[in-house]
Structure 1
Amino acid sequence: MYGKVAIYLTLAFTFLISCSIYLGTVDLRSYFFPVQPAPHSLCATGRPLRVYMYDLPRKFHVGMMGRRYSKESGPVTMENLPPWPARAGVRRQHSVEYWLMASLLYNGKGGEEREAVRVSDPATADAFFVPFFSSMSVTTHGHNMTDAATEGDRRLQVELLEILRQSKYYQRSGGRDHVIPMTHPNAFRFLRQQLNASILIIVDFGRYPRTMATLSKDVVSPYVHVVKSFTDDDPLDPYENRTTLLFFRGNTVRKDEGKIRVKLAKILTGNNDVRYEKSVATPSNIKMSTKGMRLSKFCLHPAGDTPSSCRLFDAIVSHCVPVIVSDKIELPFEDEIDYTKFSIFFSMKEALEPGYLVNQLRQFPKDRWVEMWKRLKQVSHHYEFQYPPKEEDAVYMIWRQVKHKLPGAQLAVHRNRRLKIPDWWRRKK
């Protein structure tokens, strides 16, 4: 009798285990095959992020900065890195890729603390940086899909994907630990979906489907500001020193949410303490915008072609309190920086209500504005892109954001390794 009970129990147990294996709730491979333990979180170690940078031909990066640099041979180093052109104008806003590459080329002779360092051995890397100037490729090889010159941008994307797919490190992770900057709204537009596993450096999610770009894996970067930073902003009475209440200067013909700019022009016209001016980004107009922001208490930031625009970061380095009009903007470094301490937010509906926005700003308490102005002066260095890089500047902050995203990517890599049947087991069978 007891023997029959034991047999029935054994059969029942075997049946349950079989069902669990079939349904995927039990994975016997984790018992019989060695599992590589996940490393400690990079954020907890305190050490710099170790980054391997692909050695790509110059046509993918500095070759786009001028014929002189495209004809030179050999790798780009700290000694021969071309300086960012002083007269680049509005193109500067899409130069994040350049400053990230430059930060890895800098060897840190000064001994300053760094968030990321370049390693020559990919086997020791935490992350892999792909130095393709995808944003500059858009502005260099044509602006719209029908330009004949745009074919040059498409060819570079095709060639880069071929290089990555031949890399064993890209294959190992499926690109999850690879960092690829795409800050122009049309950057990598032809083959973008094929890189959706990588850590993308973007300025907002305006042109990305939800299946591709998410806050869980991607880094939101600031645009590179195009106005000069206000370094000597120390008047006795900063509130009274800024005589304009609200300032906006820029293109009013935009796409999608940016169409609000035309509507705002109609609402704000006629207010003596408001300057709302239509202009394009030329060197002389950038100088006028610099002066206007420095003489204004508030700087208006409506959406551009995408929810964000360079104007927000121009306002920050001008210490002009940003007035952000958006229902879905994503802001850089928001897990570390509280924007409500130096910015004011209005919904699209509120901004389009005649008189509402201006009246709110006119009633804004002076002491609260002064606190926001002081806070802008404290945080503006986080939005500076410079070479050599400095501690806590924009590049430093971006690499720290990458470090925060890596544990999720590393988890996926380790799971793939664990679930892959080892070669020695196949040979044994």
Structure 2
Amino acid sequence: MRLIHSKYQRPEKISFCQKYFKWFLWFSLSLYFFTSFLINHPDNPKPRLTATSLPKTSVSRALFESVNITEQKSDKDLKTLNGLKIYVYDLPSKYNVAWLSNKRCSNHLFASEVAIHRALLESDVRTLNPWEADFFFVPVYVSCNFSTSNGFPAIGHARSLMSSAVKLVSETMPFWNRSHGSDHVFVASHDYGACFHAMEDAAMADGIPSFLKNSVILQTFGVKYNHPCQDVENVVIPPYVSPESVRNALESAPANEGRDIWIFFRGKMEVHPKNISGRYYSKQVRTNIWRRYSGNRKFYLQRHRFPGYLSEIVRSTFCLCPLGWAPWSPRLVESVVLGCVPVIIADGIRLPFSDAVKWREISVTVAESDVGRLEKILDHVAKSNLSTIQKNLWDPEVRKALLFNYRVQQGDATWHVQYALSRKMDRSHSKNRVSGKLKSDA
């Protein structure tokens, strides 16, 4: 498969028409300017048709729609991104789009790998000329294999799939080797990022593959202390939540004073200290919550799956976001975008886009050791600053920053990924080459 796009030459001027048919020249120029205007100012821009364009029939409509956000393009926006240019590798389908035969691939909590790829294909910062690119995006979907008996993603193939993609781009194009991969970007949206394992002890033992150590990893995992699974240049991103499902839930959302559930959680809660793996799930935090508060009428705790549980979040005032196997959870995003105050119970967690999302102003943090005081803590918040937190939650810019859209919207999740990369221009071979040339000329 070809990885480099062809260079297009400008058509030569038709001197015959200019010399003998002035009317034909006038008509041709008029048609040229008219069609150029239409191309540069489309009312409804259509996606480019590339080898990596993802079939609409294979993905959720959520990737095609935003939550009442209009597309914004401006010179000011491009200036904010420092003239960022990203080249998207056109990889064989086995690395990405072939996985979309399962619709869950584009719509589950790890689907940011699909969403970012799609958005970058239509982004203003995308370049088809790899020689001018600052960063190179390598679109490999590693969380779309749902072959496990419990239906969860299997990622045992992740390292070999990533390694194969790196081998391909390094052998067919010169850009990986010239920078040793430092200007190449990957998504690792599973529990422990590029360690590619769901169990922390195994993830830490395996570590990040050596071939990715020099690159930039977009990952949902992030902590404020040293950890082998973030021992790489990384950007913490939000887990994927369908914009369409959010929009549908918001249509039935009550006002803050109409929320009839005080403290809400639905999800896996171990009754026994250890689960079948022999490990302590959630460091026993969820077990302790269940044991202490399952009989408390202020708490609405449910252990069984319910596809429409977003309708419960919009009815809730506080939404518990305890750690699972990893510190992060899609509940962080679901709570914020649906106006429920997230109660974060995950010591040392590093949250996505903290420059744009003022987490301290929109959430409550409870230490894992303070779960026994959870009711008292939330009662105090209710008496002191709950209304302020709720007001901050409904800031549209906050909700926008945590959602991935089909096309990049200024201020949405993919835009913030671009912004984060634009602040890492020291890794850009293109920018450094130009800068070095200017210095030598001076």
Output the TM-score relative to the length of structure 2.
0.67
1:274 lines up with 2:299 in the alignment: yes
Q: 1:151 to 1:266 in 2, by over 3 A?
A: closer
Q: Is the 8 A contact 2:142 2:155 kept in 1?
A: no
Distance 1:44-1:105 versus aligned 2 partners, 3 A rule: closer
How far did residue 278 of structure 1 move?
0.5
Residue 258 of structure 1 contacts residue 302 of structure 1 at CA under 8 Å; is this kept in 2? Answer: no
Give yes or no for the alignment of 1:98 onto 2:133: no
Do 1:134 and 1:187's aligned partners in 2 also have CA atoms closer than 8 Å? no
Distance 1:325 1:151 in 2: 29
Q: CA deviation at 1:135?
A: 2.2
Tell me if 1:286 matches 2:307: yes
Which moved further from structure 2: 359-368 or 96-105?
359-368
Relative to structure 1, is the Cα distance of residues 163 and 89 closer, same or farther in structure 2, using a 3 angstrom cutoff? closer
For residues 226 and 374 of structure 2, the distance between their equivalents in structure 1, rounded to whole angstroms, comes to 32
Q: Paired residue for 2:360, among 329, 333, 340?
A: 340
CA contact (8 A) 2:253 2:314 kept: no
Equivalent residue of 2:108, what SS?
helix
| Counterparts in 2 of 1:134 and 1:176: CA distance versus 1, 3 Å | same
Q: 1:308 aligns to what?
A: 328
- The partner residue of 1:247 within 241, 249, 264 is 264
Are 2:146 and 1:131 aligned?
A: no
Distance in 1 (CA, whole Å) between partners of 2:140 and 2:330 is 21
- Report deviation, 1:346: 0.8
1:267-304 per-position Cα deviation (integer Å, ceiling 9, x unaligned): 11221121111023xxxx130x2121111110000001
Q: CA deviation at 1:368?
A: 2.5
- 3-state SS of 1:94 partner: coil
What letter matches 1:157 in structure 2?
M
| Matched letter for residue 161 of structure 1 | V
Deviation of 1:328 (Å): 1.1
Q: Matched residues in 2 for 1:412 and 1:381: separation?
A: 31
Match in the other structure for 2:165: 160
Structure 1 counterpart SS, 2:326: coil
Correspondences of 1:50-61 after superposition (within 5 Å): 50-61=85-96
**Whole-angstrom CA distance in 2 between matches of 1:62 and 1:90:** 10
* Secondary structure at 2:85 match in 1: strand
Residue in structure 1 matched with residue 403 of structure 2 by the alignment: 384
- Check whether the contact 1:239–1:369 (CA below 8 A) recurs between aligned residues: no
Please give the per-residue CA displacement for 1:298-335, whole angstroms capped at 9, x wherever unaligned: 00000011011111111111110000012111100012
Q: CA deviation at 1:383?
A: 1.4
The residue matched to 1:364 in structure 2 has which SS?
Answer: helix
Structure 2 counterpart of 1:202: 219
Structure 1 residues 62, 194: closer, same or farther in 2, change over 3 A? Answer: same
The 1:411/1:221 distance shift into structure 2, 3 A limit, reads same
**What is the CA–CA distance in structure 2 between the aligned matches of 1:126 and 1:410, rounded to whole Å?**
5
Q: Structure 1: how far apart are the matches of 2:390 and 2:192? A: 34
- 1:135-179 deviations in whole A, cap 9, x for unaligned? 22xx345589xx9x8775554233213114324211111111111
> How far apart are the structure 2 equivalents of 1:276 and 1:412?
53
CA distance in 2, matches of 1:142, 1:200: 26
CA offset at residue 386 of structure 1?
A: 1.8
- CA shift, 1:258, in A, is 4.6
Read off the aligned partner of 1:171 and give its amino acid letter.
N
Which residue number in structure 2 is paired with residue 373 of structure 1?
Answer: 390
SS of residue in 1 equivalent to 2:109: helix
Aligned partners of 2:113 and 2:120: how far apart in 1?
Answer: 11
SS at match of 1:218: strand
Alpha-carbon contact 2:263-2:318 (below 8 Å) kept: yes
Task: State the partner residue of 1:4.
Answer: none
Q: Name the CA shift for 1:140/1:48 in 2 (closer, same or farther; >3 Å).
A: farther
Q: What is the alpha-carbon root mean square deviation over aligned residues?
A: 3.3
Q: Which deviates the most, 58-67 or 180-189?
A: 180-189
1:260 match: 285
- Contact 2:180 / 2:214 at 8 angstroms: preserved in 1? yes
Contact 1:43 1:403 in 2 (8 A): no
Change (3 A) 1:99 1:246: same
Superposed CA deviations along residues 4-33 of structure 1, whole A, max 9, x for unmatched, are: xxxxxxxxxxxxxxxxxxxxxxxxxxxxxx
Q: How does 1:195-234 map to 2 (within 5 A)?
A: 195-205=212-222, 210-211=227-228, 213-214=230-231, 217-225=233-241, 227-229=245-247, 230-232=249-251
1:37-57 deviations in Å (ceiling 9; x for gaps): xxxxx9976544200111100
5+ residue gaps in structure 1? 1-41, 68-84, 108-113, 419-429
For the structure 1 residues 185 and 234, does the alpha-carbon distance in structure 2 shift closer, same or farther, using more than 3 Å as the test?
closer
Conservation of the 8 A alpha-carbon contact between 1:193 and 1:212? no
Q: Give the letter for the 1:95 counterpart.
A: A
Residues 160 and 135 of structure 1: is their aligned pair in 2 closer, same or farther, counting only changes over 3 Å? same
Residue of structure 2 in register with 1:78 after alignment: none
SS across alignment from 2:344: strand
Maintained 8 Å contact 1:143/1:150: no
- What CA distance in whole angstroms lies between the structure 1 residues aligned with 2:146 and 2:166? 20
Partner of 2:191: 185
Contact 1:173 1:413 in 2 (8 A): no
Cα deviation 1:67-111 (Å, max 9, x = unaligned): 8xxxxxxxxxxxxxxxxx4xx39952111111111112226xxxx
Alignment match, 1:64: 99
What's the secondary structure of 2:350's corresponding residue? coil
Shift of 1:405: 3.0
Asked whether the 8 Å contact 2:96–2:141 carries over to 1, the reply is yes
Of residues 326, 335, 338 in structure 1, which corresponds to 2:346?
A: 326
- In 1: Cα distance, 2:155 partner to 2:374 partner: 41
Residues 257, 304 of structure 1: 8 Å contact kept: yes
- Structure 2 portions without partners, runs of 5+: 1-76, 197-205, 437-442
SS of the residue corresponding to residue 92 of structure 1 reads coil
* One-letter amino acid of the counterpart of residue 176, structure 1: S
Percent of aligned pairs sharing the same letter: 25
2:426 matches 1:401:
no
